Amino acid sequence: MTAVTIPGLDHAPTTHARLLSWVREVAELTCPDEVVWADGSQDEWNRLTAKLVDAGTFVPLKKKPNSFWAASDPTDVARVEERTFICSVDPRDAGPTNNWMDPAEMKATMTELYRGCMRGRTMYVIPFCMGPLDAEKPMLGVEITDSEYVVVSMHIMTRMGTKALARFGDDADFVQALHSIGAPLEPGQDDVPWPCNETKYITQFPEERMIWSFGSGYGGNALLGKKCYSLRIASVMARDEGWLAEHMLILKLTSPEKKAYYIAAAFPSACGKTNLAMLEPTIPGWKVETLGDDIAWMRFGEDGRLYAVNPENGFFGVAPGTDYHTNPNAMRTIEKGNSLFTNVALTDDGDVWWEGMGEPPAHLTSWKKQDWTPGGEELSSHPNSRYCTPIAQCDIKAPEWEDPKGVPISAIFFGGRRATTIPLITESRDWQHGVFMGATLSSETTAAAVGKTGVVRRDPMAMLPFIGYHAGDYFQHWIDTGKSADADKLPKIFYVNWFRRGEDKRFLWPGFGENSRVLKWAVERIEGKAAAVETPIGHVPTAAELDLEGLDAPREDVEAALGFDADEWRAEIPMIEEWFAKIGEKVPTSLRDELEALKLRLG
Ligand code: GTP
Ligand code: MN
Ligand code: MN
């Protein structure tokens, strides 16, 4: 063995040989000053948050206990889809919706970037588990990172450290996740508050279940348990093993008769998952509890139903727009402290503020660390600024949120942000039609990813940036999933749109807590208790079918929000055809049939 001595390298708290040799290999390549195994303790949290305060990365909040404000480098604020790669062995396995590079070539390129990239920094080894620790087959991973911000964020977002490592034994399988901000320090060189690198790569090697990330410290690029593992890599595992890894919230809806329903919903980034997951119903007697706000892993149970588990341990929610009116439960969760806030504004008395919180204070420090006063052009907070907070302290978490067997899903919602065309809610005719709805889901782009906002793009199952393989194969996997089950045990699939607008651009539907009325109609459909109109696009309620008691919205608006317009849909068809053409020959025949049938019904 080569005699490289790096402090800490030989003090590993495990005898897992493959893990040990990988850690050594990475340390020898990246040359950190020391190696530290993250244990997940309160002491570690205290030490690292103090270090981040010293470095100027964190400002401790005076108004929220054990909470910190961070402002990223202004160029490192969102996921970078252009720099995200699926490096499958065969390019046909990555498909037309992913960037692809030959895995050997990518490894050669990134190995050179990683060489010496942790000089002057500490290399942290973070054993973690996605989903409950007491799962029969825990979903393990190890992230190696040189970012303290990542370590403390992983404290919130995952089950990690000693308790996760206990499930590794000597030879458990785990996902290798290597991360570096790519900012080595020369001896004596001053650090910056948010080190990162202009060159960024977010790379998945699906066959090896491996992730390499370089250059970014931002959430979705750097917390590799989240999008990289739980969606891109897990979607490949799910394809191979017959389950689903999806960009979905999980909620529990209890009716006045005390019957519980579990609903999973896929909306693209910044389109309302976190809001719906924590909704406060405006209709009496109905209750919503939260199990997850971003990711659902769904497997068939012994009874033939589809059960969902949230792999995450925290919420990483969009801050702007969140307040006591739109999402009181998120506000109460972060109020308890133990939270991180990135790219929001800082108040002079040591609290956080963002757009959507009502009247701004007279003076703020903006996310760009500049003086900010109301009335100017610039936003105080980046539109993709986020809070990071533990699920455990959410008052409305469902008691079963950590049950390793998951919860049986009764309904799946697909939804996007569309100003026109898509009704408030449409029930699919059957599973295959529901998969067609998901596969052709469209939405206007948001600030959650770098690029132009407000452009309509297809975002299948809200998974466009997260499908770890060919989108056509992914659609087929959804079709096959339905075929493998009893039709009457499958969740019913609905298509929703909270974002339809009137001619003056106002939202036709008030949304947020009022969405409980839409949830109610959906479960009444499941129970066979509510009526619907059969239209060419599926079953749509009339305004009379929805419980609108006490709703403060003009009836015409509700009717317009629910409206099916054949002309708008005829205009949609060429866009769907273009989308299928892009996916190419792997579009399942059954989905082409759905498209032809829709065209016929539209006349
Ligand atoms: P990611 O966490 O990025 O995956 O996104 P998300 O789907 O969790 O999005 P989130 O719930 O944070 O929604 C963000 C945006 O959607 C904010 O601008 C909200 O104001 C808006 N939003 C959420 N629900 C509604 C709604 O029912 N109606 C309207 N009009 N806007 C909504
Ligand atoms: Mn998301
Ligand atoms: Mn969210």
Residues 384 and 339 in one domain: yes
pLDDT digits (tens, 9 = 90+) for 63-90: 999 999 999 999 999 899 999 999 999 9
Question: In terms of residue numbers, what domain contains 163?
Answer: 3-57+81-241
pLDDT score, position 448: 64
Residues 323 and 402 in one domain: no
Is any ligand 1 atom within 6 A of the Cβ of residue 444? no
Nearest CA to ligand 1 atom 27: 511
Is any ligand 1 atom within 6 A of the Cβ of residue 317? yes
pLDDT score, position 270: 86
Mean pLDDT in residue range 440-459: 81
Nearest CA to ligand 1 atom 22: 272
CATH number of the domain within which 165 lies: 3.40.449.10
Here the tokens at position 42 are 């309160």
Mean pLDDT in residue range 297-323: 97
Residues 481 and 549 in one domain: yes
Task: Say if residue 453's pLDDT is above 90.
Answer: no
Task: Say if residue 492's pLDDT is above 60.
Answer: yes
The amino acid that residue 37 corresponds to is W
Nearest CA to ligand 1 atom 29: 511
Residues 361 and 433 in one domain: no
CB 396 within 8 A of CB 329: yes
Give the SS3 label for residue 241: helix
Q: ipTM score here?
A: 0.99
User: What is the Å distance from ligand 3's center to 276 Cα?
Assistant: 9
Ligand 1 atom closest to residue 321's alpha carbon, by position in its atom list = 20
Residue in 438, 502, 489 with CA at minimum distance from that of residue 464: 438
Task: Say if residue 224's pLDDT is above 80.
Answer: yes
* Residue 149 neighbours by CB under 8 Å, 6+ apart: 52, 57, 70, 217, 222
Task: Say if residue 1's pLDDT is above 60.
Answer: no
Q: What is the dihedral of CA 564, 568, 569, 570, to 10 degrees?
A: 140
- Residue 523: count of CB within 10 angstroms of its CB: 21
Alpha carbon distance 425, 563 (integer Å): 10
**Pocket of ligand 1, candidates 247, 251, 271: which has the most ligand atoms within 8 Å of its Cβ, to mutate?**
271
Alpha carbon distance 103, 445 (integer Å): 30
pLDDT score, position 2: 53
Mean pLDDT in residue range 473-500: 97
Task: Say if residue 139's pLDDT is above 70.
Answer: yes
Question: Catalytic: 271?
Answer: yes
Count of domains for the chain: 3
Alpha carbon distance 387, 232 (integer Å): 23
Alpha carbon distance 451, 433 (integer Å): 31
Sign of CA dihedral 513, 514, 520, 522: negative
Mean pLDDT in residue range 101-126: 98
Residues 429 and 576 in one domain: yes
The amino acid that residue 330 corresponds to is A
pLDDT digits (tens, 9 = 90+) for 462-472: 999 999 999 99
Residues 385 and 363 in one domain: yes
pLDDT score, position 449: 67
CB 61 within 8 A of CB 350: yes
Domain boundary among 241, 276, 295: 241
pLDDT digits (tens, 9 = 90+) for 540-578: 999 999 999 999 999 999 999 999 999 999 999 999 999
Alpha carbon distance 528, 533 (integer Å): 14
Q: Which of 87, 196, 228, 271 is catalytic?
A: 271
- pLDDT class for 3, splitting at 50, 70, 90? low
Residues 235 and 344 in one domain: no
CB 413 within 8 A of CB 308: no
CATH number of the domain within which 248 lies: 3.90.228.20
Length of the chain equals: 603
User: In what side-by-side order are the strands of the sheet with 345-347?
Assistant: 352-353, 345-347, 364-365, 371-372
Q: Is residue 140 part of a domain?
A: yes
CB 498 within 8 A of CB 444: no
Q: Is residue 72 part of a domain?
A: no
| Exposed/middle/buried for residue 534 (C-beta within 10 Å: 0-12, 13-18, 19+) | exposed
Alpha carbon distance 150, 152 (integer Å): 6
Where does 391-542 show beta strands of DSSP type E?
407-415, 425-427, 442-444, 456-458, 492-496, 533-535, 538-540
Is any ligand 1 atom within 6 A of the Cβ of residue 319? no
| Exposed/middle/buried for residue 454 (C-beta within 10 Å: 0-12, 13-18, 19+) | exposed
User: What is the Å distance from ligand 3's center to 317 Cα?
Assistant: 4
pLDDT score, position 122: 98
pLDDT score, position 454: 75
Residue in 539, 62, 88 with CA at minimum distance from that of residue 337: 62
Mean pLDDT in residue range 213-218: 97
Domain boundary among 390, 412, 447: 390
- pLDDT class for 445, splitting at 50, 70, 90? confident
What percentage of the chain exceeds 90 in pLDDT?
96
pLDDT digits (tens, 9 = 90+) for 402-430: 999 999 999 999 999 999 999 999 999 99
pLDDT score, position 259: 98
**Pocket of ligand 1, candidates 157, 221, 248, 274: which has the most ligand atoms within 8 Å of its Cβ, to mutate?**
274
Q: Is residue 74 part of a domain?
A: no
Residues 346 and 470 in one domain: no
Give the SS3 label for residue 201: strand
545 backbone dihedrals φ, ψ, rounded to 5°: -80, -25
* Residue 211 neighbours by CB under 8 Å, 6+ apart: 175, 176, 177, 178, 179, 203, 204, 205, 224, 228, 229, 232, 233
Q: Is 517 annotated as a binding residue?
A: no
